[in-house]
Structure 1
Amino acid sequence: MFRVRQIFTGVAAVLFLASAVAFQNQENDVSTKAELGEKLFADPILSRGKAISCASCHIPAFAFADTAAFSIGDKGTRLSRNSPALTNLSGRPEFFCDGRAASLEEQALGPLSTHDEMDLPVEQAVERLKQNPFYSAAFQKIFKTEVNQTNLLSAIAAFERTLETTDTPYDRYLDGDENAMTPEAVRGRILFIGKAGCATCHSGEDFTADRFKNIGLFNGQNLTDAGRYKITRDSAHIGLFKVPGLRNVAVTAPYMHNAMFKTLKEVVQYYNTPDKFVSNSINRDKSLGSSLNLSDSDVNDIVAFLEALTDDRFKRK
């Protein structure tokens, strides 16, 4: 009996090892930087306590934004800004709400090393990946060298550059399908470009002029977050934040860096009458100096247009 059990145990061990090797080989089947970056993006191995991943705060189903007002870091700390969406960033010149990063690689480094976020110095992240059989093999396969800071950030950035979206009702409308957008969205587009003046800041293919604007949210009460000023220390930049792109904006609520608006309708209503929401704004842009005189119907139409900027992959069933 012992001999039979011993033989069976040996066979089981061999089968287990064979299965593990097959699984490992399957897991190692990444052939591009972007595929490797996607795995890293979703893996909590890059946070100190292995509690969160990039995808914890940038949820794929919500255009890589967070549904919470403020994301939670590796140690359970609530962060101070709403996590922005990560789609359609490949052509942007600055990153983060205050523009403190000049490339997607630099942007990827920020949360990784920040104490309240992933809290894993990049040197430690590199060593951790070197000790992991899958990642050690994958980096050798793709980069022909061991894991280092440059290729780690390069892989994550390569994945983020794949998150471009153009399969929207708006794009189909531009391509000649007159029925792709609802009548409300068509009217909203006209208001967006014209009466509401939204296109002044939200222009171009991704609906951002790649500039910094003070839309009036800063009134001196939250002295810890004066926007671009924290980076430049230029008093002219107090209250300035990066103008975000609007593609997929309908699935990235709540809105603004401080998550003060829960719906797109509230956002449009704010721009229509900002003084009703924030009093004593400091250094607010002159274009928001008075009401836009939008009717309730106008507001609803603009919201309908913004919803038409949602890529089909993110539409709610």
Structure 2
Amino acid sequence: MVILGAVAFVFTVAFQPQREGNEVLTKEELGEKLFFDPILSKGMAISCASCHIPAFAFADTAAFSIGDKGTVLTRNSPSLTNLSGRTGFFWDGRAQSLEEQILGPLSAHDEMDLPVEAAVERLKKNVFYSTAFQKIFKTEVNNKNVLSAIAAFERTLETTDTPYDRFLDGDEKAMTEAAIRGRILFIGKANCATCHSGEDFTADRFKSIGLFNGKEFKDPGRFKITSDSSHIGVFKIPGLRNVAVTAPYMHNAMFKTLRQVVEYYNTPDKFVTNSINRDLSLGSSLNLSDGEIDDVVAFLEALTDDRFRKK
């Protein structure tokens, strides 16, 4: 059971940092303990859960998370739910697996600032962890099994208990009338499904929605990784499950509400002038009415797993 304030959520694996006899039964449980343990940050000031808060679908409620040394990071921390089927990680897609993704914040100077080799040595000296790794992996702590354990836990964070899922299963009362109308708009007039498709509402691709103009919006996105000029302002298309509890939105946290997000897509030029490399699909207004925007938001809210709706 993961407890945050007065709210408790039960996930696939029960978080029991004080299990009797220091016993961890599975790789997933070991990964969960590591996820919540500040032992993996250089100054032991933060854990993975500091920036990926369980009650908010393992996203951060702050615009920008705070690193081990108190440094404010430069991009919003996205949700970690429903990542087991993804093919690219981080806003710029620089990691190709959950294991590789874990290396990023672990070794980044402004984040946890603990290279995996240093993390391994620290865990080897810890009686609980050295015993647990030996029991589960049949070997001492090493780079591979540290990343494997945390990734195994992250793969348990799949969510499907939503009004939308129940609606698809035949419960016509599961979604509100507004959400049902919003679903039709999402697929049709609002053109959301072009990018947010599939079971987790992401096409696993990268696109520029116009949040780069070289002035007040300077993050070039995937261009930093590829040096390909066609990737200027391009970012990963995130999944939309649990999106109602992962505000603020976008890599730069510029929108505080889902309504603002939909308003942006409806009329992007009102928010970012002279954007560079914006996708042609966002070349003109969607002409959504205020009521239609509300309906799309209602549908997006229906994608939230019940464990988070009850927070």
TM-score category (smaller protein): over 0.9
Instruction: Tell whether 2:224 aligns with 1:230.
Output: yes
Residue 212 of structure 1, aligned match among 206, 212, 216: 206
Distance 2:206 2:19 in 1: 47
User: In the alignment, residue 178 of structure 2 is paired with which amino acid?
Assistant: E
Counterparts of 1:247 and 1:312 in 2: how far apart (Å)? 11
Shift of residue 32, structure 1, vs aligned partner: 1.1
Q: Paired residue for 1:111?
A: 105
Deviation string 1:9-46 (CA, Å, 9 cap, x unpaired) is xxxxxxxxxxxxxx977162211111100000000000
State the AA in 1 paired with 2:113.
D
| Alignment partner, residue 196 of structure 1 | 190
Residues 82 and 155, structure 2, Cα contact 8 Å, conserved in 1 = yes
Q: Secondary structure at the match of 2:278?
A: coil
> Residue in 2 aligned with 1:102?
96
Structure 2 CA distance for aligned equivalents of residues 172 and 296 of structure 1: 27
Q: Give distance in 2, aligned partners of 1:34 and 1:27.
A: 18
Write the deviation string for residues 251-270 of structure 1: whole angstroms up to 9, x where unpaired. 00000000000000000000
> For structure 1, which segment, 213-222 or 284-293, has the greater mean C-alpha deviation from structure 2 after superposition?
213-222
**What is the aligned partner in structure 1 of residue 12 from structure 2?**
none
Residue by residue over 1:219-255, the C-alpha shift from the partner in whole angstroms, topping out at 9 and shown as x without a partner, is 1125762001000000010000000000000000000
One-letter amino acid matched to 1:237? H
Alignment of 1:112-151 (within 5 A): 112-151=106-145
Which of the pair has more CA radius of gyration?
Answer: 1
Q: Find out whether 1:62 has 2:56 as its counterpart.
A: yes
The alignment of Structure 1 onto Structure 2 pairs a total of residues equal to 295
2:27 matched residue in structure 1: 33
Unmatched 5+ stretches in structure 1: 1-22
Q: For the residues of structure 1 that align with 2:225 and 2:97, how far apart are their CA atoms?
A: 16
Quick check: 1:24–1:134 contact (8 Å CA) kept in 2?
Answer: no
- State the partner residue of 2:10: none
Task: Verify: 1:153 aligned to 2:158, yes or no.
Answer: no
Matched, 1:167 2:161: yes
Which SS does the other structure have where 2:25 is aligned? coil
Match of 1:93 in 2: 87
Measure how far apart 1:316 and its partner are.
3.5
Q: Is the 8 A contact 1:27 1:134 kept in 2?
A: no
User: CA, structure 1 residues 25+212, in 2 after alignment: closer, same or farther (shift >3 Å)?
Assistant: closer
Whether the 8 Å CA contact 2:31–2:149 is kept in 1: the answer is yes
Counterpart secondary structure, 1:93: coil
Aligned partners of 2:65 and 2:72 also within 8 Å: yes
Partner letter of residue 60 of structure 1?
A: P
Q: 1:182 to 1:118 in 2, by over 3 A?
A: same
TM-score (norm 2): 0.93
Distance 2:225 2:146 in 1: 26
2:29 corresponds to which letter in structure 1? E
Q: Give the distance between the partners of 1:276 and 1:68, measured in 2 at CA.
A: 25
Residues 127-161 of structure 1: per-residue CA shift (max 9 Å, x gap): 00001111011101100011000000000000000
Q: Is the 8 A contact 2:220 2:234 kept in 1?
A: yes
Q: Secondary structure at the match of 2:106?
A: helix
Among 250, 255, 272, the alignment partner of 2:266 is 272
Q: Which amino acid aligns with 2:20?
A: Q
Equivalent position amino acid for 1:300 in 2: D
Q: Identical aligned pairs, as a percentage?
A: 81
Question: Is the contact made by 1:228 and 1:240 (CA closer than 8 Å) also made in structure 2?
Answer: yes
- TM-score using structure 1 length: 0.91
Q: Deviation digits for residues 82-134 of structure 1, max 9, x if unmatched?
A: 00000000010100000000000000010000000000111110000001111
Distance 1:28 1:102 in 2: 33
Alignment-derived partner of residue 19 in structure 1: none
Give unmatched runs, 5+ long, in structure 2.
1-16
Match of 2:44 among 44, 47, 50: 50
CA distance in 2, matches of 1:120, 1:177: 48
Q: Which has the higher helix share?
A: 1
Q: How does 1:249-288 map to 2 (within 5 A)?
A: 249-288=243-282
**Contact map agreement 2:212 2:218 (CA 8 A) in 1:** no
Partners of 2:21 and 2:218 in 1: CA distance = 44
Deviations 1:260-298 (A, max 9, x none): 000000000000000000000000000000000000000
Instruction: Give, as a single letter, the amino acid of the residue that structure 2 aligns with 1:188.
Output: G
Amino acid at match of 2:49: A
Tell me the distance in 1 between the aligned counterparts of 2:98 and 2:216.
28
Question: What is the Cα-based RMSD across aligned positions, in Å?
Answer: 1.2
